[in-house]
Chains A and B, each alone.
Chain A
Amino acid sequence: MLTRPLCCIGALLLASWNVGCTQADGATGSTSRAAARSATASPPVDTGGSARGDFGPPQGPAVHAELTDAPAVPAAPRRTSPARVVVELEVLEKVMRMSDGVDYTFWTFGGQVPGKFIRVRQGDTVEFHLRNHPSSKMPHNIDLHAVTGPGGGATSSFTAPGHESQFTFKALNQGLYIYHCATAPVGMHIANGMYGLIFVEPPEGLPPVDREFYVVQGDFYTVGKYREKGLQPFDMQKAIEENATYVLFNGSEGALVGDNALQARVGERVRIFFGNGGPNLVSSFHVIGEIFDRVYTEGGTRYQENVQTTLVPAGGSAIVDFTLEAPGTYVLVDHSIFRAFNKGALGMLKVEGPERKDVYSGKEVDSVYLADKATPSAAVEQATQKRSQGKVSLEEQIAAGKTLFAGTCSVCHQNEGQGLPDVFPPLAQSDYLMADKRRSIGIVLNGMSGPVQVRGKTYNSVMPPMSQLNDDEVADILTYVRNTWGNRGDAVTAAEVAEVRATTTRPAGAAH
């Protein structure tokens, strides 16, 4: 046994990767070929696929695979020879959180969505135990895309509740593979969360990185609308129509947000093992603010460099590597972007460390752009300060309101409140304005459209809602216009604005 690998390495010195030792020495020779390759930085031009993936019988005692829940990834196997690896996976059907106040009955490989991450080495013999928990309602099986053989293991792992199946396969192809349940109705089993990733490590390993993460996207179909509270049943019709209610990373909205965000430090190289369980949607995986240095496209052997967004098919994967230069929060999205903002496909990578202003300055200017409308905001600051002490005066409100009016209102109503003839009604000496304080607050907050009579003339225009203004600002602006240009009235308080804001609604579809 010892002499043949030596001979093989000798042969390799003379031969190209494409030749290898397989033909010369058979399976044992392949093992040493793999060992020799560990010393090299990049994979050979052609790995030979499954035809060159058999490195002979497993060596040494059986190894129990370390399985991890997302976003953790098991350590890389450091072996230089193939082993018998025992994988024990339990199917659990359980109610878990899908979003805040929203629960769902997930079907899981190991109790979470996605299922446990499995990491083996190319050439390993994998002894797979699938257990279906006694509380399960359904039978389940597993199709690992890493398996060479009919059904990918599904035919050999069909398991009734409270039972266990065992099958064995040799991981002949390197790469990152989806596994999933393939029991009828297959789509429903996948839609309920039955998928995960198995990584078949190339013999030479991947280039080392500082951190590895495990993220899987999936689409979900519930009877209730997005974020409708309660235990939401699966909606078969929406699934057939591919009309997803949720698109999620790692099985729930917020699984990678806030305290659950992925964490790294400036200067580190990170790797995401990214999968797409489907059942239906293709992912346009993107990290906002980063560029993937490398993408092992479709989870395969080769990588593309300098990629903004990578397409990950349902039942497919990608490995992305990137280096973190600047601190801050990087947002993981499916760049089919409504999925990110309206269906939940959003995660975060929080990066801590020293600023790199030479790489990214952060915001250098943050000011309102008013063109020639810009005026100092000292008056606003003073009103804010006095209000916090509970003693803002009418004059201070008027002064602040004047500034705010110039920035927000004067474009239409003009600097002296005179309006534009036939287009924008005047605020100066306005009978309509002064007749009803509460109505005026409502118009600022909720906008207005349709004909209105002001000083005997009819205006028919649209004012957008200004609900982006806070209660103080609305109060100051209205106090200003109600005490200027011939108007005389009392102050409008922030409390009055708050009350109107709480009790009125702006028209559907209104902007701001």
Chain B
Amino acid sequence: MSRGHFKTGALVAGLLGLTGTAARAEPPPRGMVKVGPGTLRPVYVPSPEEQRVPVAAFWMDRVPVTNAEFLAFVRQAPTWRRGAVPRLFADAGYLRHWAGPLRPGPDAAPDAPVVGVSWFAARAYCEARGARLPTEAEWEFAASASRTEVDARDTEAFREQLLRWYSRPTPRVLPPVGRTEANVWGVKDLHGLIWEWVLDFGNTLVSEDSREGSPAGTSRFCGAGALSSGEKGDYASFMRLAFRGSLQAAYTTGNLGFRCARDLAGGAP
């Protein structure tokens, strides 16, 4: 299944002339598919010379981490159980919709994505699996893809589909993972289910007042606001950046989960 998607992705990317070298044959880690290599047009252009950011090939979870998977993790790691986690690493909303510290209960089906987890907890989960959180560039690169295009962000239908999801309130009980259409890389649920943590979520720092014209953050992607955006029509990307900009690492929200990523064993192609 994953391998098939991997081939499709590589084929499409190759046809579009986006890839560098072909990936060497490496069996995918369990539940993961290969994404990239390619280039990302960042929504916030760091400088006129950096209209495109290279993204090396990486492994990415096909679907977000589920309640069942996270339950297995907290069974192994008592310090990450609800009630045991210091407030410094997870706020009061941490896994609050679970019936108990080791019992997800009726509002958190085993195959639904885990939400209400902090960045620290998500990172710890991925590390326990020998993986990591995807970087923002990796996540955005993967999420730019539709079923047929590596970068569908200019496609009207794709944009509208995302905006529709963004404009609907979060359901009280989330549906199972894997119900949305796989994109060209074979990745599902990047849109239409939950928000997801990324490793460097504070990197593209949207100013808290997103109308400011001057950089408000300190990283190289720092928020230059709408004035410096390279993709003015891509409101869906704006909304993701705004969402990430509202977060702190200990925050949890009822619609924020995560998935893991890994480097290729042989390093970047």
Contact = CB atoms under 8 A, between A and B. Distances in A.
A135 B167 contact: no
Given A137-B168, A139-B243, A155 B207 contact: yes
A141 interface: yes
Interface in B111-165: 156, 159-160, 163-164
Contact of A105 (B167, B226, B235, B256): B167
B50 interface: no
Contacts of A186: 210-211
Given A105-B169, A134-B93, A159 B211 contact: no
A75 interface: no
B60 interface: no
Contact of B246 (A158, A192, A237): A158
Interface string A171-196: 00000000000111110100010000
A131 to B, nearest CB: 13
Contacts of B208: 141, 151, 154-156, 158
B164 A184 contact: no
Contact of A135 (B156, B169, B207, B235): B169
A287 B153 CA distance: 46
B164 A233 contact: yes
A160 interface: yes
B254 interface: yes
A231 to B, nearest CB: 8
B242 interface: yes
Contacts of A159: 246
B253 A162 contact: yes
A134 B239 CA distance: 17
A138 B242 contact: yes
A163 interface: yes
Nearest to B97: A134
Nearest to B256: A161
Contacts of B195: 137
A94 interface: yes
A139 B242 contact: yes
Q: Secondary structure at chain B's binding surface: helix, strand, loop or mixed?
A: loop
Contacts of B163: 233-234, 236
A218 to B, nearest CB: 16
B239 A161 contact: no
B212 to A, nearest CB: 7
A96 to B, nearest CB: 11
Nearest to B241: A184
Residue from B160, B210, B251 with most neighbouring chain A CB atoms (10 Å): B210
A161 B206 contact: no
Contact of A233 (B167, B239, B246, B247): B167
Contact of A160 (B166, B235, B239, B253): B253
A93 interface: yes
A143 interface: yes
Contacts of B253: 134, 160-163
B254 A162 contact: yes
Interface string A108-146: 000000000000000000000000001111110101000
B209 interface: yes
B210 A93 contact: no
B24 interface: no
B180 interface: no
B30 interface: no
A189 B235 CA distance: 11
B205 to A, nearest CB: 11
Nearest to B166: A137
A254 to B, nearest CB: 23
Nearest to B225: A184
A150 interface: yes
Contacts of B256: 161
Contacts of A160: 243, 246-247, 251, 253
Given A105-B169, A136-B169, A234-B167, A141 B209 contact: yes
A184 B210 contact: yes
B172 A135 contact: yes
Nearest to B252: A162
A162 B93 contact: yes
Contacts of B238: 184-185
B255 A161 contact: yes
B170 interface: yes
A209 interface: no
Contacts of A134: 93, 253-254
Contacts of A155: 207-209
B245 interface: yes
Contact of A138 (B211, B239, B251): B239
Residue from A159, A183, A192 with most neighbouring chain B CB atoms (10 Å): A183
Interface in B214-269: 226, 235, 238-239, 241-243, 245-247, 251-256
Contacts of B255: 137, 161
Contacts of A143: 209
Interface string B192-216: 0001000000000011111110000
A138 B168 CA distance: 10
A223 to B, nearest CB: 8
Given A163-B251, A184-B226, A139 B246 contact: yes
A188 B235 contact: yes
A182 B210 contact: yes
Nearest to B93: A162
Contacts of A223: 160
Interface string A416-432: 00000000000000000
Contacts of A184: 206, 210, 226, 238-239, 241-242
A95 interface: yes
18 contacts: A135-B169, A137-B166, A137-B170, A137-B195, A138-B239, A139-B245, A151-B211, A154-B208, A155-B207, A158-B208, A161-B256, A163-B91, A182-B211, A183-B242, A185-B235, A185-B239, A186-B210, A233-B164
Interface of B: 91, 93, 156, 159-160, 163-164, 166-170, 172, 195, 206-212, 226, 235, 238-239, 241-243, 245-247, 251-256
Given A141-B209, A156-B208, 12 more contacts: A137-B195, A139-B242, A139-B243, A139-B247, A151-B211, A160-B243, A161-B254, A162-B93, A162-B254, A163-B253, A184-B238, A185-B239
